[in-house]
């Protein structure tokens, strides 16, 4: 497929002044160019992006990350400070509610105005206007000035105009958050029809699940830069990890202080954990697993004192925002670990895989005395790992299940 959007080394720079006087001083010194009175703010910083025809691209990022600025540059509402932008095809955009509408014009008049902006003649719009009015479904208000419209009516008319002018590229920025549920469902259905026809769509939404449902690819913008671009599940999972970690660490100490405060009791004259490995079913060490992949943990520990009775090995999984996912130990499972002087190994196997949804997680590992209360050694974040997952559920865990018409209770993993 050919590229319908090609963005190369794109920058959008705004000049920030501390006060109005500095702006005036710089204007007066324009020809002399002796001193700069402003600071450069990069709303977009060296953006490189290629979009193929028919792709459905979800744009992710916090407020202020540069999403709307990028879309406005692509649509021509803003001009880039530097870099190149090549667009093949006609763009229809829903970036700002009712952008391009004249509030004094009626709904019908604004339909023709929008058509003119899209390059259609009045005769061509005559063939489209009935479909637009029918989809908007705002009744007699189509003959009223749009300044009297509610936000929901505005959304109906704006969306109806955008999708009924046969665009090659549709840009949608949070517009589906406006309007009632039935209208949103109608919009979704129409967008699916456009996807099947090969329309390229750039989609912005803070609802990550919506991005996952609709998009075939994701681009994460952070501080005006492309942080990550690629597979929809991988990028959205990493973005969610970023949001979780940021939320979890707000108001916390610096990383150096955190590390100083982590209680890792290491009694070297008793025992010491020497290595912690994550192995595939084939015994290969790796850091990325699919959700249902067998994951085997290999813990190697050095025993210095053989006289410890019934020592316990514990392994815990936590999410990147420090939520406790699953903690296991040999005391609870009534297992006896080897405890001979010198090097010992013991294994923990997650036979059905780690049934959590995609993202970054980490292991804690510890050796305890017989009650698993006092740690001989406790290592926090001994190893990080990635779970890669398709969009096949929501929440934190995937609970084994089945759907059926059969009312009989039985093994959910059976037929």
pLDDT of residue 342: 95
For tokens 């059969």, the residue is: 406
Q: How confident is the model at residue 253 (pLDDT cuts 50, 70, 90)?
A: very low
How far lies 57's CA from each of 33, 46, 176, 204, in Å?
Answer: 43, 19, 16, 9
DSSP assignments along 201-240, one per residue: EEEE-S-HHHHHHH-SEEEEEETTEEEEEE-HHHHHHHHH
* Segment 284-318, tens digit of pLDDT: 999 999 999 999 999 999 999 998 889 999 999 99
Give the residue extent of every domain in the chain: 54-247, 264-388
pLDDT tens string 162-206: 888 888 999 987 666 556 667 777 777 888 888 889 999 998 888
Name the average pLDDT for the chain. 86
Question: pLDDT higher for 340 or 216?
Answer: 340
Cα within 13 Å of Cα(380), Cβ side: 12
Asked if residue 215 has pLDDT above 50, the reply is yes
- Regarding predicted confidence, which is higher, 5 or 259? 5
Query: φ, ψ for residue 66 (rounded to 5)?
Result: 115, 5
User: How would you list the strands of the sheet with 225-230, edge to edge?
Assistant: 91-94, 169-173, 200-204, 56-60, 217-222, 225-230
When pLDDT is cut at 50, 70 and 90, the band that residue 363 belongs to is: very high
Give pLDDT, residue 325.
95
Q: What is the pLDDT of residue 348?
A: 98
Tell the CATH topology of 54-247.
Rossmann fold (3.40.50)
Q: Note the pLDDT of residue 264.
A: 40
How high is the pLDDT of residue 296?
97
pLDDT tens sequence across 132-155 = 999 999 999 999 999 999 888 888
**270 close to 308: Cβ distance less than 8 angstroms:** yes
State residue 250's pLDDT score.
Answer: 65
> What is the pLDDT at residue 98?
59
Mean pLDDT of 330-340: 96
In the chain, the percentage of residues whose pLDDT exceeds 70 is 87
328, 316 in Cβ contact below 8 A? yes
What class, spelled out in words, does domain 264-388 have in CATH? Answer: mainly beta
pLDDT of residue 110 exceeding 60? yes
Encode pLDDT of 222-242 as tens digits.
999 999 999 999 999 999 989
For residue 179, the model assigns a pLDDT of: 60
């Amino acid at each position: 497929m050919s590229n319908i959007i090609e963005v190369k080394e794109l920058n959008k720079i705004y000049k920030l002044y501390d006060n109005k006087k500095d702006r005036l001083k710089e204007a007066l010194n324009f020809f002399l160019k002796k001193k700069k009175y402003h600071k450069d703010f990069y709303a977009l910083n060296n953006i490189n992006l290629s979009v193929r025809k028919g792709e459905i691209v979800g744009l992710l990022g916090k407020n202020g990350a540069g999403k709307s600025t990028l879309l406005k540059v692509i649509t021509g509402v803003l001009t880039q400070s530097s870099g190149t932008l090549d667009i093949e095809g006609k763009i229809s955009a829903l970036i700002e509610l009712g952008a391009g509408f004249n509030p004094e014009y009626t709904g019908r008049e604004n339909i023709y105005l929008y058509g003119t902006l899209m390059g259609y003649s009045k005769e061509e719009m005559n063939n489209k206007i009935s479909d637009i009015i029918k989809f908007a479904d705002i009744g007699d208000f189509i003959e009223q000035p749009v300044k009297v419209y509610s936000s929901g009516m505005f959304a109906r008319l704006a969306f109806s105009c955008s999708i009924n002018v046969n665009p090659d590229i549709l840009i949608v920025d949070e517009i589906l958050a406006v309007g009632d549920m039935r209208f949103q469902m109608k919009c979704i259905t129409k967008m699916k029809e456009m996807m099947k026809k090969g329309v390229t769509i750039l989609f912005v939404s803070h609802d990550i699940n919506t991005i996952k449902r609709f998009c075939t690819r994701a681009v994460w913008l952070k501080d005006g830069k492309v942080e990550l671009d690629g597979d929809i599940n991988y990028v959205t999972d990493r973005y969610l990890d970023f949001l979780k970690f940021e939320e979890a660490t707000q108001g916390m100490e610096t990383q150096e202080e955190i590390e100083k405060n982590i209680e890792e009791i290491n009694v070297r004259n008793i025992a010491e954990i020497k290595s912690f490995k994550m192995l595939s079913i084939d015994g290969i060490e790796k850091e990325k697993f699919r959700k249902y992949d067998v994951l085997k943990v290999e813990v190697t520990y050095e025993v210095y004192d053989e006289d410890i009775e019934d020592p316990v090995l514990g392994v815990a999984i936590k999410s990147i925002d420090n939520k406790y996912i699953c903690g296991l130990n040999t005391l609870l499972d009534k297992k006896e670990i080897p405890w001979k002087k010198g090097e010992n190994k013991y294994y923990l196997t997650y036979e059905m895989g780690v049934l959590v949804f995609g993202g970054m997680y980490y292991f804690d590992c510890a050796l305890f005395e017989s009650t698993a209360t006092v740690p001989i050694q406790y290592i926090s974040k001994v190893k990080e790992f990635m779970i890669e997952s398709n969009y096949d559920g929501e929440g934190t865990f995937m609970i084994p299940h089945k759907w059926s018409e059969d009312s009989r209770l039985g093994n959910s993993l059976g037929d």
